Every structure is written in C-alpha cells, then in structure tokens.
DNA sequence: ACACTAATTATAAACATTATAAAGTAATAA
DNA sequence: TTATTACTTTATAATGTTTATAATTAGTGT
C-alpha cells in the first residue's frame, strides 16, 4: 500500500469518516490513476472488484473526499465532473480538441486573491484556474 | 437602443448570423442584466414577450453568441451554466454561501499562459479563473 | 416578392447527479 | 467476541440541465 493511500486513510480516520472497502478502492484508484477520472470512469474501473457497487456510492464518496479535502472536483458545464486527488498545488492545462488534461505547476496566485479581497470585500477562500488550448498532438494534426 | 446592443448586432451581421427577434431579445437581456443569468433565467424573463419560445432556442443562441465571442459561459458542475455578456477582460468572485457573483477586473494572466505553453507544449488559447469566498454580507452573518 | 437557407418550435431523448428507503456493515464499547 | 448503533451501500426512481430531431416558420439577398 502506497504512502499516499496510508495518509489518505489516516485523514479519513481523523475526521471520523468510516473506511469501507469501496472507499478504500476509490481512493486507491484516484491515487494510482495519473489521469483525472470522471465518476463513471471510477465506477467502471471498479466493476470487477465490486460488481454490485452503485454509482451513487461513487458520487457520495467523492463528495465525502472533497469535503475532507482529499479530492478536488473539476467542473465543466454539462459534461461530467472530473476528480483529482490533491497532492500539491497545481493547475490544469486542457486540450480543447481531445480533452487531455495535463498538470501544470505554478505558484498559487496569492496576489490575485489579495487584490480580489481588497476590491470586493469578500473573504477569499480559494480559486480555480484552467488553461485551454491544443495539445502538441492535436496542434500537429491541425497543421496539415 | 444601447450602444452595446448595436455593436453586438453588428457583430452578428459581420459574422453572418441572422438577427431574429429572439436573438435580439436575448442579447438585450444579457446586456441590460447586471447579473449572470442562467439559460432558464433568460427563458423565464422573455416568456412575456415570446410566449412560444422554446428553451432550446435560448440554449442554441447562447451557444451561437459564445461561438462569435459575444458571450462567455461559466460552468459549475451539475448546476446550470451562467452566461456573461463580454465587455472587458474580467474575472469573477463568487460567494460560496449565497452564490453572488461579482466582477473583478484584473489584467489577463498572460505570463501564466506563456509559462504553461512553454512547459506543456500546448498551443494556449485562453484560460478561466474564478475566485471563491464569502461575500461581505455572508461573512458578517457568520461572525455571530 | 421570391427563393433559399437557417432558425424556431415542440417534443423527446440523453446524460449526470441526487433522493429515497431498505438492507448491510464498520466502529465502538461491554 | 459480540451486540449495538449509526453510518453506508445498494437499487431504483426522480430531478434537472442540455441536446437531438423533425416539421414549421421566417430572415436575407436578389
């Protein structure tokens, strides 16, 4: 069992969230998957291990993980949300042609948050940012 | 008729998009509304003027406006998208308690786009950013 | 005013996500 | 170890947003 998974399970224990086999498996999948899966991806991936698992379970637990801060939800309008196990502060660069998502490390935009707080009077908690474009593969294809 | 509306209609003409009464009304509503309405907000607001208008018309036209660059779509997972008539480059500060959205002017994050392009090899087109927190009203209420 | 093409309407379908209630199970303490 | 209790899971249905389809209607340039 990976260190990250152990830490994640500890977090659950500390916050009083029960550790069920389903939760264990979903977390494990999120940590091992280097992608940004949808709830349905996870559901399908775990079908073998849990033939009776309900989609609702996946959604419920992703919400639980989000609430305890283990997972970040990336929303895209009517398309499915994607879920990202939080390791370090990073942003996402998204290909508008094929949908590929690449992590992009960048220092947090603290300055923007401060200015926003000053200008609007909000108490700022966090922000999201995504960068859109064409990945190398897709822009090569379009160059024809 | 406002200047902005005139310009918007010109943009439609230039890009070969037909100007229908429905499109005129949707644009007018978007420009006059200082809020960030959902498709359904718009649909309901124009019910009086167009009792037979279909929701699909609203969605179709919002997509058209987005494609010609008049309107920006703000997505929030399973909740409805919100639509914003584009005037100048600005971001949004969103209250997580009451949902209020406030515009926040800030120079575009060109540097972030450049670095992302350099690091990932993507051809960057644009980005989105939102800042989340508690608005003054809501943070005052929570102070009790 | 005509013809051509695109837009609108009405309806149904698709899809993601959430609600509900019954059955099952992890965690705690005796 | 076992019993208890509250939380989870499952199965299913419902909700809500958005899109697809086909028939009708209506802009726009000539």
Mean pLDDT of chain B: 88
The β-bridge partners of B92 are B103, B130
Alpha carbon separation from B26 to A59, B36, B53, B69 (Å, rounded): 35, 13, 11, 15
**A96-128 per-position pLDDT tens digit:** 888 888 888 887 687 788 888 988 999 998 888
Checking if the pLDDT of A59 tops 90, the result is yes
**Shortest CA gap B32–chain A (Å):** 22
Nearest CA in chain A to B81: A77
DSSP A117: H
C-alpha B73 chain-centroid distance: 5
Residues of B in contact with A132 (CB under 8 A): 124-128
Q: What is the DSSP string of B60-114?
A: HHHHHHHHTTSEEEEEETTEEEEEEE--SSEEEEEETTT--EEEEE----HHHHH
* pLDDT band (50, 70, 90) for residue A14: confident
Mutate to test the interface with A, among B36, B66, B77 (most CBs of A within 10 A): B77
Can you say how many angstroms the Cα of residue B49 is from the centroid of all Cα atoms in its chain? 22
- What is the reported pTM? 0.72
pLDDT at B39 exceeding the cut of 90:
yes
Q: How confident is residue B65, by pLDDT bands cut at 50, 70 and 90? A: very high
Residue B101 touches chain A, beta carbons under 8 Å: no
Among residues A77, A108, A73, A41, which one has the least CA distance to residue B72? A77
A55 lies within 8 A of chain B by CB:
no
Which residue of B78, B109, B122 is in closest CB contact with A93? Answer: B122
């Amino acid at each position: 069992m990976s260190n990250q998974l152990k830490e994640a399970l500890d977090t659950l224990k500390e916050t009083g969230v029960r550790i069920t086999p389903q939760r264990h498996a979903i977390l494990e999948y999120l940590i091992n998957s280097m992608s940004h899966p949808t709830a349905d991806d996870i559901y399908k991936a775990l079908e073998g291990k849990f033939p009776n698992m309900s989609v609702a379970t996946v959604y419920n637990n992703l919400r639980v993980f989000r609430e305890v801060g283990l997972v970040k939800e990336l929303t895209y309008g009517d398309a499915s949300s994607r879920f990202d196990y939080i390791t370090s502060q990073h942003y996402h660069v998204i290909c508008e042609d094929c949908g590929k998502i690449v992590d992009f490390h960048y220092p947090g935009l603290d300055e923007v948050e401060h200015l926003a707080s000053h200008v609007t009077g909000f108490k700022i908690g966090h922000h999201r940012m995504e960068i859109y474009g064409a990945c190398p593969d897709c822009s090569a294809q379009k160059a024809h």
